[in-house]
Chain A
Amino acid sequence: MSRDVAIVAFAQSDHRRHTDDLSEVEMVMPVLHDVQRQTGLKASDIGFTCSGSSDYLAGRAFSFTMALDGVGAWPPISESHVETDGAWALYEAWVKLLTGEADTALVYSYGKSSPGSVRDVLTRQLDPYYLAPLWPDSVALAALQAQALVDAGDTDEPALAAIAARSREDARTNPHAQLPGARPQGAYAVQPLRTGDCPPIGDGAAAVILAVGDRARELCERPAWIRGMDHRIEAHSLGVRDLTDSPSTRLAAERAGAFERPVDTAEIHAPFTSQEVVLKKALGLDTGVTINPSGGALAANPVMAAGLIRLGEAAARIHRGESDRALAHATSGPCLQQNLVAVLEGEPRA
């Protein structure tokens, strides 16, 4: 028997360039308390907990175990962790709920980029034989993809600047955003990408609560039902791929049911302006779709939480009645290496 699963609560921190005064658990705890308050659930009421983070950001092994204190992990809870964006933790929790092993789940993720140099840190996720010894940083790899798009005639610098401007203008209404409002496009970070085409570096956390069926209806006035979710990856060698396209995103979207009916909102995880161009093409998003009304990752990009935030923002729009059918996308790795797509729906309104 299939079970309906919904996102019933979402919370996120204010995203900031530095949070020196806070340890990870101190940063995460208010966000956990926020989703608990929204649903009235206590830690002991949660059937399954799953988190996403990265030791390389923290510079410490098993760093997530410290953050786990914020959940209230004693007496023992059913818990798991993914060493990637929390969107994949949400996927794991969704599967857990579908199997019937739990009725509610808490999913959270966090990233503090401020202690290290995130451009350099992210080189350690690359192929260790052919790429990592060259230390190609995340901006450089995104710039290679951007140039491929320019060469293909898919975009140009003014079009990329317009994406940056629209995102940060939309972020004015997002109280958590790190970069709300107009910013200069600035100098080239790595040509053809200017600083304005790149995401802010920042620290932040997010949490959602999932619930099944009538439990979801009890906890939330208008649950955001997960109609489908899937994630796919590309071949790992960048030189094998057509960087102007994202077939993994398209396939994930197809398997999630995104193309069965039009969506009205798309929260897509595009840390670089050029990646929005790739994703819009892969997902076939036309002008009738509101893209990243939250401002997206260009306005706040806490690494390991930014993808989960896309799912949370899409769900929150459904909770508020601003969307009936939304697509949420998360990515991880260089040049949109791994992609997750979820389709969320609210029940028809009277």
Chain B
Amino acid sequence: MTVTEPPEALRAPLVVEFPFTRSLGPVQSAFLTGLRERTVLGVRTEAGAVLVPPVEYDPATAAELRELVEVAATGTVTTWAWNPEPRPGQPLSTPFAWVLVRLDGADTALLHALDAPGPDAVRTGLRVRIRWAAERAGAITDIACFEPYESTAGNETTAHDGRFEDPVTGIVAPARLDYTYSPGRAQTRYLQGLAERRTVGERCPSCAKVYVPPRGACPTCGVATTDRVEVGPRGTVTTFCIVNIKAKNLDIEVPYVYAHIALDGAGLALHGRIAGIPYDQVRMGLRVEPVWSEDGRYPDHYRPTGEPDADYDTYKELL
């Protein structure tokens, strides 16, 4: 007897990329616009403490905070961590220290990067100053980084109305995360079947329903579906709709028909496009078969087989 090893799970790169657009309130707008103008603003609490970076509500009392003050571009490191291998997106591409810096005039610390030759050049209490980015747009990255700077600590603040010409009212925070997607055993087997132009479902050992595409579990019984069953290739349209709106980046002419199709032997319907028949002649019970995409990896659409329509009773449980 030969035992077939389960196929090695498929893997593919998956990139999640999005530009997160966010609006700013009055305090954050003033702070980030200030950075563009090389001005660092904090906000004073009712108790008199100056928060840098500023927030709109007091973290201790939740009182609304609006009293802006300007603080210095010099400050003191309150804690640090040496980063020997910078990661993508971080402020510097050469080894640097992460630092929390209490700017002169502030009572709280700002997180950023410190450009220093090595960990021996960094210590808590180190005096530093802001190195401004050459091009500034109203973002935390307008501070390129901090750099060591011998100076005397001060606590001077000056009142600031927070007004600038052409204030920044929103930011776009681009994010990109790279993944390697693996669909697991059940979907790997399904996809490998498709590559051979076969549609393979999995049967629930408890309720005997055949799931296609299989995801490895029966959602009714909560048990693994391990018994593989080839279904189709022919099937029955159980329900459908006529699509009149063209989707972005889709080269299918509207109107077209999108349908639920119960492949012969399957315990539920999957969805697919119906073609090879005028859209207004598609009907429940229509018998269809897959037309494979050019590279043969998946059914591009389904077309009528020419058989008589299926009896309602044969598919009513699959609607």
Contact = CB atoms under 8 A, between A and B. Distances in A.
Contact of B79 (A123, A151, A237): A151
Contact of A140 (B98, B109, B119): B98
B59 interface: yes
Contacts of A144: 79-81, 98, 100, 111
Interface stretch (B158-166, B180-188, B301-309): B180-188
A128 B20 contact: yes
B173 A243 contact: no
A135 B87 contact: yes
B217 interface: yes
B184 A21 contact: yes
Interface string A42-83: 010000000000001001000000101111111100000000
Interface residues of A, number: 63
A147 B179 contact: no
Contacts of A72: 218-223
A246 B52 CA distance: 21
Contact of B98 (A26, A74, A136, A240): A136
Contacts of A237: 51, 53, 55, 59, 108
Contacts of B219: 68-69, 72-74
Contacts of A243: 79
A133 B222 contact: no
Contact of B216 (A23, A33, A132, A193): A23
B90 interface: yes
A324 to B, nearest CB: 35
A177 B131 CA distance: 45
B81 A192 contact: yes
Contacts of B22: 128-129
Interface in B76-120: 78-84, 87-91, 98, 100, 102, 108-113, 119
Given A72-B219, A134-B90, A146-B81, A115 B179 contact: yes
Interface in A18-54: 20-26, 29, 32-33, 43
A122 B223 CA distance: 32
Which of A66, A75, A133, A148 has the most CB atoms of chain B within a 10 A radius of its CB? A133
A116 interface: yes
Output the residue of A33, A75, A119, A148 with the most chain B CB within 10 A.
A148
Interface stretch (B8-16, B227-235, B284-292, B310-318): B8-16
B124 interface: yes
Interface in A112-163: 114-117, 119-121, 123-124, 128-137, 140-141, 143-148, 151
Contacts of B216: 23, 25-26, 29, 69
B51 A240 contact: yes
A72 B124 CA distance: 55
A33 B218 CA distance: 13
B139 to A, nearest CB: 6
Nearest to B206: A72
Contacts of A59: 14, 16, 177, 179, 181
A190 interface: yes
B224 interface: yes
A116 B14 CA distance: 9
19 contacts: A25-B217, A26-B185, A69-B217, A69-B222, A72-B219, A72-B221, A74-B220, A117-B178, A120-B177, A124-B175, A128-B173, A144-B79, A144-B81, A144-B100, A148-B78, A148-B79, A190-B84, A235-B60, A239-B102
Interface of B: 6, 8-9, 11, 14, 16, 20, 22, 24, 28, 32, 51-53, 55, 59-60, 78-84, 87-91, 98, 100, 102, 108-113, 119, 124, 139-141, 171, 173, 175, 177-187, 215-224
